[in-house]
Amino acid sequence: EEKRSLSFVEQMVEGDLAAGKNGSRIQTRFPPEPNGYIHIGHAKAICMDFGVADNYGGVCNLRFDDTNPSKENNEYVDSILNDIQWLGFKWGNLYYASDYFQQLWDFAVWMIKKGFAYIDEQTSEQMAAQKGTPTVAGTESPYRNRPVEENLELFNKMNTPEAVEGSMVLRAKLDMTNPNMHFRDPVIYRIIHTPHHRTGTKWHAYPMYDFAHGQSDYFEGVTHSICTLEFVPHRPLYDKLVDLLKEYEAENGHTPDYRPRQIEFNRLNLTYTVMSKRKLHTLVDESLVNGWDDPRMPTVCGMRRRGYSAQSIRNFIRSIGYTKFDALNDYALLEAAVRDDLNKRACRVSAVLNPVKLIITNYPEGQTEEMIAVNNPENEADGTHTITFSRELWIEREDFMEDAPKKFFRLSPGKEVRLKNSYIIMCTGCKKNADGEVEEIYAEYDPQSKSGEEGANRKVKGTLHWVSAAHCIEAEVRLYDRLFSVENPSADERDFRELLNPESLTVLNKCYVEKYLAEKKPGDFLQFQRIGYFTPDSDSKPERLIFNRTVGLKDTWAK
Closer residue to ligand ATP, CB minimum distance, 140 or 487: 487
Partner from ligand ATP, Mg ion, none contacting 267, C-beta within 5 to 8 A by type: ligand ATP
> What is the Cα–Cα distance from 97 to 104, expressed in whole angstroms?
10
Q: Give how far Cα 307 sits from Cα of 45, 88, 513, 522, 555, Å.
A: 22, 16, 18, 8, 17
**Of 256, 267, 252, 263, which Cα lies nearest the Cα of 220?**
256
Among 13, 26, 45, 245, binds ligand ATP (CB under 6 A): 45
Query: What's the closest the beta carbon of residue 187 comes to Mg ion, in angstroms?
Result: 16
Q: Does 282 bind ligand ATP (CB under 6 A)?
A: no
By CB under 6 A, which span of 26-34, 391-399, 437-445, 499-507 interacts with ligand ATP? Answer: 26-34
Query: What's the closest the beta carbon of residue 33 comes to Mg ion, in angstroms?
Result: 4
Determine whether 510 is an active site residue. no
Determine whether 279 is an active site residue. no
Q: What's the chain's Rg over C-alpha atoms? A: 31
**What's 481's DSSP letter?**
-
**What's 479's DSSP letter?**
E
Query: What's the closest the beta carbon of residue 266 comes to ligand ATP, in angstroms?
Result: 8
Among 16, 28, 32, 107, binds ligand ATP (CB under 6 A): 32
Partner from ligand ATP, Mg ion, none contacting 440, C-beta within 5 to 8 A by type: none
Query: What's the closest the beta carbon of residue 313 comes to Mg ion, in angstroms?
Result: 20
Partner from Mg ion, ligand ATP, none contacting 228, C-beta within 5 to 8 A by type: ligand ATP
Span 242-271, contacts to ligand ATP by CB under 6 A: 267-268
Interacting residues of 101 by C-beta distance below 8 A, sequence separation 6+: 199, 202, 203, 206, 207
> What is the Cα–Cα distance from 70 to 289, expressed in whole angstroms?
24
Q: Does 35 bind ligand ATP (CB under 6 A)?
A: yes
Q: Does 33 bind ligand ATP (CB under 6 A)?
A: yes
DSSP characters over 89-139: ---S-EEEGGGGHHHHHHHHHHHHHTTSEEEE-S-HHHHHHHS-BTTBPPP
Q: Does 9 bind ligand ATP (CB under 6 A)?
A: no
Q: Does 266 bind Mg ion (CB under 5 A)?
A: no
> What is the Cα–Cα distance from 200 to 196, expressed in whole angstroms?
5
Q: Does 51 bind ligand ATP (CB under 6 A)?
A: no
Q: Which residues of 306-345 are buried (b: 16+ CB within 10 A; e: fewer)?
A: bbbbbbbbbbbbbebebeeeeeebbbbebbbbbbebbbeb
> What is the Cα–Cα distance from 156 to 152, expressed in whole angstroms?
6
Among 7, 33, 103, 408, binds Mg ion (CB under 5 A): 33
Q: What does the binding site for Mg ion look like in residue numbers (CB under 5 A)?
A: 33
Residues noted as catalytic = 33, 267, 277
Residue numbers of the site for ligand ATP (CB under 6 A)? 31-33, 35, 41-42, 44-45, 227-228, 267-268, 275, 277
